[in-house]
């Protein structure tokens, strides 16, 4: 069984929701989990609910990195931070993968500092899953967007590698035999977007190992046109935050409208079951987290606002990725394009 | 069919002979009885002894406790107390024989009599029945140190802790009657318990019950049992129970090794046993020193309880970690004697949350 190191102190609702999520996993599966963090706080939380102590161990450490802290500074000052200890455990082979809902920058830095890049991989990519419309039968309701911030500016070859890595991950985790890969651009035409994107388009088109569907525009991201959307970190991050922002703004606007008018309230009440269904389908907690791809060791970055359910699913995704030997799959795919 | 079996006389241990009593519940404590559904409940009386399944490590624990007691010069007594009807007694006795368990008495609940007398509430009621039988067993049997084994399915934690505090002279009279009333015990049972409590009160105060072990068969949250104090140890498996008994000197290293071995044979890896041990330490029911000693003892016995970290880091790092843990344990303040149980609050809480 895979052993997953979980950063117990990382996330907006840590350690409570993280520990609860791990306790849930311990009752539902045989996945072994090492909770890394303040041992006394972790045990006090475990004591509050049902759990299986036989597959949970605790690695005590004294500090943690806050969500708003500068990751460089914080990691320099806190060598004993839970995320750093968890990453070292994975690097040393004490655990097979790392799961954290904590500071994204710190997660990326810890992975970069402790894990080796897969041979041939030039840059690691931080992926993110997002809810989207599906167009084809069997498509996952979540798309994969990478990179969303690990590498700010990329070369064409790096974007091509991101596509290969994302495709390998989607093949294994989303069980899509041939995931559709799109390159995020300002137009569908292959000559758009400047030298890097034009060159990346050419390289992707010539890669036999992936199902490249061409350039995708911003309005394609939320559709099922591509299962894997590739972008350089700056652009990917902007798109991700835009998606989240629009979702939140829509919720606020609806709440405001309902507050102002009883007709809207009535209409929303009638639509409530449908809204609830959509919310359930697109709830990020069902997916758990997204990987940092390109390292020999796996790190799953869960959403900062992860609930216990999201953490539990992130641990399951990590275990599945370990069992499915994602890193080996990526290594083979990358070797195939060299 | 008698609901009681071979209860020894009060002088069964022999005058002044050191002895120890182990009292066991049957279902969910010794046996993996499934009465979650009506169908499974109905099938229990028809189960043959060979179909009954014991919980991993229990026969080995019972054997180990007996041997360790004899080695210390204590005479061990083993009693079973069940809320099941005596009609299943024959198969239970066969099962005990199959498992090689020696025992001195077994009590079943005479449900037929309750039915005939139209006392339907008594059929489900556990606290009055079990507490009464425990006190009667104490009155008629050896009055010595006791270790009690139950589970989290119904009310064993409350019953055993009430019994322990009655023996210790901390509970009795109107206060006990009030608590029993709040727990739904029928009036005549309350009177009987009061009478029995007065009869054994002559023993004088003292800690008659050494430990209470609650098998967390339902995986109840351990925090649910904090109010019962450190005398009650909620355990997720019988390796945890064995570790605690090893710490208090009731089980020896050989017995501990046998239970670890029994669990190992049933699929528990060294890592799982180690995690169980560490969990017990974190919950404050096992000292770091005993944990280290148990790891070494089991290692000598051929049981590898190294954690993944220790395997990865190597022996030198392990020694360093053990030294650090011992230092940390020494630097912690001495555990204070637990205060008395706040019975009124505990019972209110228990009544509000009980499911069995």
**Dihedral over Cα of A225, A230, A232, A233: its sign:** positive
Same domain, B179 and B320: no
Same domain, B214 and B288: no
In a domain, B245, yes or no: no
Distances (CA, A) of B346 to B209, B294, B340, B354: 19, 34, 12, 11
Edge-first strand listing for the sheet containing A125-131: A56-60, A32-37, A3-7, A97-100, A298-302, A289-293, A125-131, A142-146, A228-230, A180-184, A211-216
Phi, psi of B159 (to 5 degrees): -60, -50
Same domain, B186 and B270: no
Same domain, B21 and B168: yes
CB–CB contact A53 B307 (8 Å): no
- Measured in residues, chain B has a length of 356
Residues of chain A contacting B, Cβ within 8 Å? 3, 27, 32, 34, 39-40, 43, 46-59, 89, 92-95
* pLDDT range class, residue B51, cuts 50, 70, 90: confident
Mean pLDDT score across all residues of chain A: 90
**A173 pLDDT more than 90:** no
**A143 pLDDT more than 50:** yes
**B334 pLDDT more than 50:** no
- pLDDT tens per residue, range B156-207: 999 999 999 999 999 999 999 999 999 999 999 999 999 999 998 766 656 7
Same domain, B271 and B217: no
In a domain, B81, yes or no: yes
Set out the domains of chain A in order of their start, with CATH numbers. 1-117+294-325 (3.40.718.10), 122-292 (3.40.718.10)
Same domain, B77 and B212: yes
Same domain, B172 and B209: yes
d(C-alpha A200, C-alpha A183), whole Å:
8
In a domain, B242, yes or no: no
pLDDT of residue A240: 84
- With CA atoms as reference, report the closest residue to B99 among B133, B52, B161, B40: B52
pLDDT of residue B100: 94
- What is the distance, to the nearest Å, from the Cα of residue A1 to the centroid of all Cα atoms in its chain? 22
- Better-scored residue on pLDDT, B267 or A251: B267
Q: How far is B43 from chain A (nearest CA, A)?
A: 28
Q: Is B135 helix (H, G, I), strand (E, B) or coil?
A: helix
- With CA atoms as reference, report the closest residue to A66 among A12, A131, A5: A12
Same domain, B30 and B150: yes
The terminus-to-terminus CA distance of chain A in angstroms comes to: 33
- pLDDT tens per residue, range A198-248: 999 999 999 998 999 999 999 898 888 999 999 999 999 898 888 877 877
Edge-first strand listing for the sheet containing B145-151: B4-5, B105-107, B75-81, B19-25, B145-151, B209-215, B232-235
- Residues whose CB is less than 8 angstroms from the CB of residue B42 and which lie 6 or more positions away in sequence, other chains included: none
* Inter-chain CB pairs, A–B, below 8 Å: 56
Domain tally, chain B: 2
**B134 pLDDT more than 70:** yes
The terminus-to-terminus CA distance of chain B in angstroms comes to: 27
Q: How far is A5 from chain B (nearest CA, A)?
A: 12
User: Which of B217, B221, B306 would you mutate first to test chain A, the one with the most A CBs within 10 A?
Assistant: B221
**A295 pLDDT more than 80:** yes
- Which of the 8 DSSP states describes residue B107? E
Same domain, B159 and B223: yes
- CB-based contact (8 Å) between B112 and chain A? no
**Dihedral over Cα of B250, B253, B255, B257: its sign:** positive
> Which of A185-194, A262-271, B182-191 is the least confident region?
A262-271
Enumerate long-range contacts of A199-204, CB under 8 Å, 24 or more apart: A199/A156, A200/A156, A200/A159, A200/A160, A200/A230, A202/A156, A203/A156, A203/A157, A203/A159, A203/A160, A204/A159, A204/A160, A204/A163, A204/A230
> Which of A254-258, B70-74, B137-141 is the least confident region?
A254-258
Strand-pair category, A125-131 with A289-293: antiparallel
- Residues whose CB is less than 8 angstroms from the CB of residue B39 and which lie 6 or more positions away in sequence, other chains included: none
pLDDT of residue B9: 41
Q: How far is B218 from chain A (nearest CA, A)?
A: 8
In a domain, B286, yes or no: yes
CB–CB contact A51 B237 (8 Å): no
pLDDT of residue B335: 43
d(C-alpha B261, C-alpha B302), whole Å:
9
Same domain, B48 and B176: yes
**B4 pLDDT more than 70:** no
- Which of the 8 DSSP states describes residue B222? G
- Which of the 8 DSSP states describes residue A63? B
In a domain, B241, yes or no: no
Instruction: Say if residues A89 and A58 touch (Cβ distance below 8 Å).
Output: no
**B338 pLDDT more than 70:** no
Mean pLDDT score across all residues of chain B: 85
pLDDT of residue B113: 72
d(C-alpha A98, C-alpha A314), whole Å:
10
**B257 pLDDT more than 60:** yes
- pLDDT tens per residue, range A56-108: 999 999 899 999 999 999 999 999 999 999 999 999 999 999 999 999 999 99
Same domain, B148 and B262: no
**Dihedral over Cα of B256, B262, B268, B270: its sign:** positive
* pLDDT range class, residue B58, cuts 50, 70, 90: very high
CB–CB contact B220 A93 (8 Å): no
In a domain, B188, yes or no: yes
Query: Domain range spanning residue B318?
Result: 252-331
Same domain, B232 and B275: no
User: Which of A53, A62, A92, A93 would you mutate first to test chain B, the one with the most B CBs within 10 A?
Assistant: A53
d(C-alpha A150, C-alpha B229), whole Å:
51
pLDDT of residue B47: 77
In a domain, B260, yes or no: yes
- Residues whose CB is less than 8 angstroms from the CB of residue B86 and which lie 6 or more positions away in sequence, other chains included: B1, B2, B3, B108, B109, B110
**B141 pLDDT more than 80:** yes
- With CA atoms as reference, report the closest residue to A181 among A201, A167, A191, A195: A167
- Better-scored residue on pLDDT, A281 or B216: B216
d(C-alpha A90, C-alpha A94), whole Å:
6
* pLDDT range class, residue A155, cuts 50, 70, 90: very high
* pLDDT range class, residue B66, cuts 50, 70, 90: very high
Facing residue for A54 by CB, picked from B218, B276, B308:
B276
In a domain, B68, yes or no: yes
């Amino acid at each position: 069984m895979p052993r997953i190191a979980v950063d117990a102190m990382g996330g907006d609702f840590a350690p409570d929701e993280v520990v609860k999520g791990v306790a849930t996993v311990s009752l539902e599966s045989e996945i072994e989990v090492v909770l890394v963090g303040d041992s006394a706080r972790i045990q006090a939380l475990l004591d509050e609910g049902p759990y299986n102590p036989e597959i949970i161990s605790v690695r005590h450490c004294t500090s943690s990195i806050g969500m708003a802290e500068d990751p460089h500074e914080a990691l320099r000052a806190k060598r004993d931070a839970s995320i750093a200890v968890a990453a070292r455990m994975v690097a040393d082979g004490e655990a097979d993968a790392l799961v954290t809902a904590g500071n994204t920058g710190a997660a990326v830095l810890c992975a970069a500092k402790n894990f080796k890049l897969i041979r041939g991989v030039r840059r690691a990519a931080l992926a993110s899953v997002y809810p989207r419309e599906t167009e084809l039968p069997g498509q996952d309701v979540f798309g994969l967007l990478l990179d969303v911030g690990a590498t700010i500016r990329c070369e064409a070859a790096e974007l091509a590698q991101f596509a290969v890595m994302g495709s390998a991950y989607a093949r294994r985790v989303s069980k899509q035999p041939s995931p559709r890969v799109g390159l995020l651009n300002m137009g569908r035409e292959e000559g758009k977007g400047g030298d890097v994107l034009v060159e990346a388009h050419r390289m992707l088109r010539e890669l036999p190992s992936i199902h490249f569907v061409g350039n995708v525009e911003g309005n394609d991201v939320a559709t099922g046109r591509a299962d894997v959307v590739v972008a350089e970190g700056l652009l990917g991050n902007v798109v991700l935050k835009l998606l989240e922002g629009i979702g939140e703004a829509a919720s606020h606007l609806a709440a405001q409208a309902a507050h102002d008018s009883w007709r809207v309230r009535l209409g929303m009440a009638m639509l409530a079951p449908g809204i609830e269904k959509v919310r359930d389908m697109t709830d990020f907690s069902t997916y758990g987290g997204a990987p940092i791809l390109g390292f020999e060791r796996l790190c799953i970055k869960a959403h900062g606002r992860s609930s216990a359910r999201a953490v539990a699913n992130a641990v399951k995704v990590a275990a599945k990725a370990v069992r499915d030997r994602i890193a080996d799959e990526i290594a083979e795919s990358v070797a195939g394009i060299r | 069919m008698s609901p009681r079996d071979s209860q020894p006389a009060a002088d069964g241990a022999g005058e002044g002979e050191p002895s120890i009593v182990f009292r066991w519940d049957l279902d969910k404590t010794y046996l993996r009885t499934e009465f979650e559904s009506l169908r499974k409940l109905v099938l229990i009386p028809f189960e043959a002894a060979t179909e009954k399944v014991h919980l991993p490590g229990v026969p080995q624990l019972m054997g180990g406790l007996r041997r360790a007691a004899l080695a210390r010069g204590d005479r061990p007594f083993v009693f079973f107390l069940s809320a099941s009807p005596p009609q299943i007694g024959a198969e239970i006795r066969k099962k005990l024989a199959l498992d090689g368990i020696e025992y001195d008495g077994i009590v079943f609940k005479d449900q037929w009599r309750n039915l005939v007398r139209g006392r339907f509430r008594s059929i489900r009621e556990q606290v009055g029945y079990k507490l009464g039988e425990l006190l009667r067993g104490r009155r008629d049997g050896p009055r010595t140190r006791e270790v009690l084994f139950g589970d989290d399915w119904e009310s064993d934690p409350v019953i055993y802790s009430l019994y322990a505090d009655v023996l210790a002279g901390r509970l009795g009279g109107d206060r006990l009657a009030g608590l029993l009333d709040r727990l739904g015990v029928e009036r005549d049972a309350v009177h009987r318990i009061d009478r029995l409590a007065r009869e054994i009160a002559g023993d004088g105060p003292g800690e008659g019950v050494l430990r209470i072990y609650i098998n967390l068969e339902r995986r109840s949250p351990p925090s649910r049992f904090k109010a019962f104090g450190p005398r009650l140890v909620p355990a997720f498996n019988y390796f945890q129970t064995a570790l605690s008994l090893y710490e208090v000197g009731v089980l020896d290293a050989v017995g501990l090794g046998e239970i670890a071995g029994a669990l190992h044979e049933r699929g528990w890896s060294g890592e799982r046993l180690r995690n169980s041990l560490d969990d017990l330490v974190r919950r404050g029911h096992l000292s770091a020193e005993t944990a280290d000693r148990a790891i070494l003892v089991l290692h000598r016995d051929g049981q590898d309880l190294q954690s993944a970290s220790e395997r990865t880091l190597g022996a030198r790092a392990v020694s360093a970690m053990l030294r650090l843990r011992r230092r940390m344990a020494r630097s912690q303040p001495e555990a204070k004697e637990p205060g008395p149980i706040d019975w009124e609050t505990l019972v209110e809480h228990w009544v509000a949350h009980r499911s069995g």
